[in-house]
Amino acid sequence: MMGRRANLGAALPALVVAVVAIGGLVAGPRTACAGAYIFAGESNPNVVAHPKGYLGTGGTVSVSVCVDPAFPHAADAAISLQNLVATYNALLPTTGNLVFGGSNNIPSGFIDVESTLVHEVGHCLGLAHPNLATESGLSGNDRNYTKAANGADNIYGTDPGSDGVIGSSDDVRGDDVNLHWFQRANNNPFTIAGTVDTSSYSRDPSALPAGHNFATNADRTVSTLYGVSNTEAVMQQGAFSDEDQRQLAHDDVATLRYAMSGLDEAAGTGDDYALVLTYAGQTSSCDIVVRFDSVSSFASCSVGGSFLNGTHVRITSASISMNTGYNWFFNDEFSFPTPTPTSTPTLTPTTTATATPTPTATATLTPTPTPTPTPTATATATPTLTVTPTPTVTATPTPTVTSTAPTVTPTPTVTPTATATVTPTPTVTPTATPTVTPTATPTVTPTVSATPTATATPTPTVTPTPTATPRFACTPPPVPTGPTPTPVTAAAEVCQRTIAKEAAKLVSARVRTLHKCEDRKLAGKLPSGTLCETEPKTAAKLAKAASKLTKKIAARCGGDNDVCDGDPTEEDPAALGFAADCPDFGASGCSFGIFDCADVTACVECIASAATVRSTTGLFDSMSPADPSVAKDLNKCQRTIGKEAARLAVARDKTVQKCWDGRLRGRHDDLCPDRAAIPGSNGRKAADKIQKAEARYVSKICRACGGSDKSCDDSLIGPGGSFFPGSGNADDTAVAAIGFGAECSDVAGASGGAVCLGPVATLGDLVECVACLSDLAGSCVDTARVPGFGAYPCGCNP
Partner 1 sequence: MSRSTPHRWSAVLGAALVATVALVAVPGVAAEDGLPATLAYSHAASDVVVRYVELPGELAETGGGTTLTIRGDGSATVHYPAYMRRAGDHTTALPRAEVDALVASLFVKGVSQFDGSAVRQQLRSAETARAAALTTGEGGVVLAAVTDASTTIVELSLAAAVPAGATVLPQMVTHRAEWRGLRNDLAQHPSITALANLAAARAELRTVIDRVHTEATR
Query: What is the rounded distance in angstroms from the CA atom of residue 142 to the CA atom of residue 98?
Result: 21
32 binds partner 1 (CB under 8 A): yes
Q: How far is the CB of 297 from partner 1 (least distance, A)?
A: 3
Q: How far is the CB of 235 from partner 1 (least distance, A)?
A: 10
The residue among 237 and 386 lying less far from partner 1, judged by its C-beta, is 237
Q: How far is the CB of 37 from partner 1 (least distance, A)?
A: 11
Q: How far is the CB of 181 from partner 1 (least distance, A)?
A: 18
Phi-psi region of 680 (alpha: psi -120 to 50; beta: other; left: phi over 0): left
490 binds partner 1 (CB under 8 A): no
Rg (CA), the chain: 28
327 binds partner 1 (CB under 8 A): yes
Q: Among residues 308, 361, 494, 631, which is the contact residue for partner 1, using CB under 8 A?
A: 308
The residue among 282 and 302 lying less far from partner 1, judged by its C-beta, is 302
7 binds partner 1 (CB under 8 A): no
The residue among 223 and 691 lying less far from partner 1, judged by its C-beta, is 223
Stretch that binds partner 1, among 317-325, 379-387, 625-633, 766-774 (CB under 8 A): 317-325
72 binds partner 1 (CB under 8 A): no
Could you give the 3-state DSSP secondary structure of residue 218?
coil
CA distances (Å), origin 314, targets 86, 258, 552 = 22, 14, 68
630 binds partner 1 (CB under 8 A): no
Q: Among residues 46, 229, 284, 302, which is the contact residue for partner 1, using CB under 8 A?
A: 302
Q: How far is the CB of 127 from partner 1 (least distance, A)?
A: 9
Q: How far is the CB of 634 from partner 1 (least distance, A)?
A: 39
Q: Among residues 165, 301, 492, 504, which is the contact residue for partner 1, using CB under 8 A?
A: 301
Binding to partner 1 in span 689-718, by CB under 8 A: none
785 closest CA partner among 541, 605, 545, 563:
605
Stretch 218-247: interaction string toward partner 1, x if CB under 8 A: -------------------xxxxx------
Phi/psi for 251 (5° steps) reads -65, -40
Query: What is the rounded distance in angstroms from the CA atom of residue 11 to the CA atom of residue 16?
Result: 15
Phi/psi for 381 (5° steps) reads -100, 170
107 binds partner 1 (CB under 8 A): no
119 binds partner 1 (CB under 8 A): yes
Angle between helix 597-620 and helix 536-557 axes, rounded to 10 deg: 150
Q: How far is the CB of 255 from partner 1 (least distance, A)?
A: 15
Q: Among residues 4, 25, 405, 547, which is the contact residue for partner 1, using CB under 8 A?
A: 25
Query: What is the rounded distance in angstroms from the CA atom of residue 162 to the CA atom of residue 143?
Result: 19
Query: What is the rounded distance in angstroms from the CA atom of residue 321 to the CA atom of residue 428?
Result: 41
**Strand runs labelled E in 19-143:** 20-22, 25-27, 48-50, 59-67, 99-100, 111-112
- Burial letters 372-396, b for 16+ CB under 10 A, else e: bbbbbbbbbbbbbbbbbbbbebebe
407 binds partner 1 (CB under 8 A): no
Count of residues engaged in binding partner 1, rule: CB under 8 A: 64
30 binds partner 1 (CB under 8 A): yes
Residue pair 417/279 in contact by the 8 Å Cβ criterion: yes
80 binds partner 1 (CB under 8 A): no
794 closest CA partner among 776, 768, 774, 769:
776
The residue among 129 and 643 lying less far from partner 1, judged by its C-beta, is 129
Q: How far is the CB of 111 from partner 1 (least distance, A)?
A: 5
Phi/psi for 463 (5° steps) reads -80, 105
Stretch 258-297: interaction string toward partner 1, x if CB under 8 A: -------------------------------------xxx
110 binds partner 1 (CB under 8 A): yes
Provide the β-strand partners of residue 312. Answer: 48
11 binds partner 1 (CB under 8 A): yes
CA distances (Å), origin 783, targets 157, 540, 646 = 58, 27, 20
The DSSP code sequence of 692-705 is: HHHHHHHHHHHHHH
Q: Tell me, what amino acid is at 75? A: A
546 binds partner 1 (CB under 8 A): no
Stretch that binds partner 1, among 119-127, 422-430, 532-540, 549-557 (CB under 8 A): 119-127
Burial class (CB within 10 angstroms; exposed 0-12, middle 13-18, buried 19+) of 529: exposed
The residue among 123 and 203 lying less far from partner 1, judged by its C-beta, is 123
Listed in sequence order, the residues at least 6 apart from 665 whose beta carbon sits closer than 8 Å to its beta carbon are 493, 497
Phi/psi for 688 (5° steps) reads -65, -40
156 binds partner 1 (CB under 8 A): no
The residue among 6 and 600 lying less far from partner 1, judged by its C-beta, is 6
Q: Tell me, what amino acid is at 286? A: C
Q: Among residues 222, 277, 280, 313, which is the contact residue for partner 1, using CB under 8 A?
A: 313
Site of interaction with partner 1 (CB under 8 A)? 10-20, 22-23, 25, 27-33, 38-39, 109-111, 116, 119-120, 123, 128-129, 133-135, 137, 237-241, 295-309, 313-314, 316, 323-327
